[in-house]
Amino acid sequence: MLNSLDLAKPPAETRVVVAMSGGVDSSVVAAMMKRDGYDVIGITLQLYDHGAAVHRRGACCAGQDIHDARRVAERLGIAHYVLDYESRFRDAVIERFAESYLAGETPIPCVECNRSVKFADLLETARDLGADVLATGHYVASRPLANGRRGLFRAADPERDQSYFLYATTAEQLDFLRFPLGDMAKSETRALAHEFGLTVADKADSQDICFVPNGRYTDIIERLKPGAVAPGDIVHVDGRVLGRHEGIIHYTVGQRRGLGLSVGEPLFVLKLDAEKGRVIVGPREMLGTESIRLRDVNWLGPVALDALPPEGLEVAVRVRSTRQPCPAFLRRDAEGVEIVLASAEEGVAPGQACVIYDGVDGRAQVLGGGTIRATRPVPMRETLGEGAVA
């Protein structure tokens, strides 16, 4: 007989390490595991200097969160440890975040944190503690597959689904991970928190990048990389220089407001040229992307990437966490993995994640994903003249 975590052991003999962020979701997971009779240990990570964020709403992994996690553990009567992962987090997440922005990309630090810290370093710590599984409060589902491994699926609550941020989880990690909230709605989680008598039952959800205490990520980059932010030209896609900027880190692809231009037509950021220090702008109709090239691909599909048919594979993809999966076509060639979109998507930028699913269904399986390294816009160059920017 398998227990509720799909393990052939009695709950009392099954050790579960719960990653406790101090929020309502992970606190409920710890309470559920304790209620079901598992041997539970809570771990909270201190990821950054939390002095500036102790009392800030909307953050995570700050001083108040550590305090909240400790109080929940005390109420549940479980062991609880706070681990200092500041140096690992700084090197693996914050430094890469800054370097990516300086390279003209739009990075997603939550993906890198899950990949490099939570599901790598923390997972190994859980193993060292003799854990059978590591459980988290993410809204994503993990289910057994026919091949004996575990698959990653979208959460039941589409408004809370976090599969976009977890695509980089490897098959080996999935075997050890459990996501007890994957089939629950957020309202159910909060109801359970009240039922368990947890002090965090009505605590606000984390919303910001945890290491940006004032919401201005550019301040972090300028502090980490002094002198690296250089001014440059704002250039129309037809080649005209329209103005100056104070650094490409202040712009993102798809941006319209804050350009400081007055040219009689609405313009959007189409591209960030880090090599030449230019911000390329143009009309909205040029924001459309028809295909995407990926790097650092993590593949979870049932068929190996190099065994895909020559014609490719019909899939669904998400290029933003706030967008629903859309039909696409996956191909693999000498240059790597390419995603051809069925319909053009706007505001697709290098550095973002492209997550691949087996369909657009609300319970679709995650086949993998990667970081966007290049995009191909919908062809319009022939209408711009010889001076058009490449």
pLDDT of residue 119: 92
Distance CA 116, CA 30 (A): 23
Distance CA 120, CA 265 (A): 48
Give the Å distances, CA to CA, from 304 to 65, 78, 99, 144: 41, 42, 31, 18
* Structural domain spans, the chain: 11-196, 230-285, 288-377
Distance CA 133, CA 16 (A): 5
* CATH class of the structural domain 230-285: mainly beta
> How does residue 390 score in pLDDT terms, banded at 50, 70 and 90?
low
> How does residue 114 score in pLDDT terms, banded at 50, 70 and 90?
very high
- pLDDT of residue 139 exceeding 80, the answer is yes
Q: Is 23 assigned a ligand-binding role in the annotation?
A: yes
Q: Which of 61-65, 128-132, 171-175, 382-386 has the lowest mean pLDDT?
A: 382-386
Distance CA 143, CA 367 (A): 13
- pLDDT of residue 176 exceeding 70, the answer is yes
> How does residue 360 score in pLDDT terms, banded at 50, 70 and 90?
very high
Bridge-based pairing of strands 177-178 and 133-135 is parallel
Fold for the domain defined by 288-377 = Elongation Factor Tu (Ef-tu); domain 3 (2.40.30)
Q: Is 137 assigned a ligand-binding role in the annotation?
A: yes
Asked if the domains at 11-196 and 230-285 fall in one CATH topology, the answer is no
Place of tokens 């994903």: 369
Q: Is 37 assigned a ligand-binding role in the annotation?
A: no
Average pLDDT (291-317) is 94
Alpha helices, DSSP H, located in the chain: 24-35, 63-76, 86-89, 95-102, 109-113, 122-128, 171-176, 186-195, 217-224
Distance CA 181, CA 160 (A): 10
Q: Is 33 assigned a ligand-binding role in the annotation?
A: no
Average pLDDT (237-254) is 94
Average pLDDT (23-45) is 97
The catalytic residues are 113, 210
Q: Is 243 assigned a ligand-binding role in the annotation?
A: no
Residue 195 CB coordination number (10 Å): 12
- pLDDT of residue 269 exceeding 70, the answer is yes
Average pLDDT (58-65) is 62
pLDDT of residue 55: 44
Give the Å distances, CA to CA, from 285 to 110, 290, 384: 30, 12, 13
CATH of the domain spanning 11-196, picked from 3.30.830.10, 3.50.50.60, 3.60.15.10, 3.40.50.620: 3.40.50.620
- pLDDT of residue 213 exceeding 80, the answer is no
Cβ-Cβ contacts under 8 Å for 185 (sequence gap 6 or more): 156, 157, 160
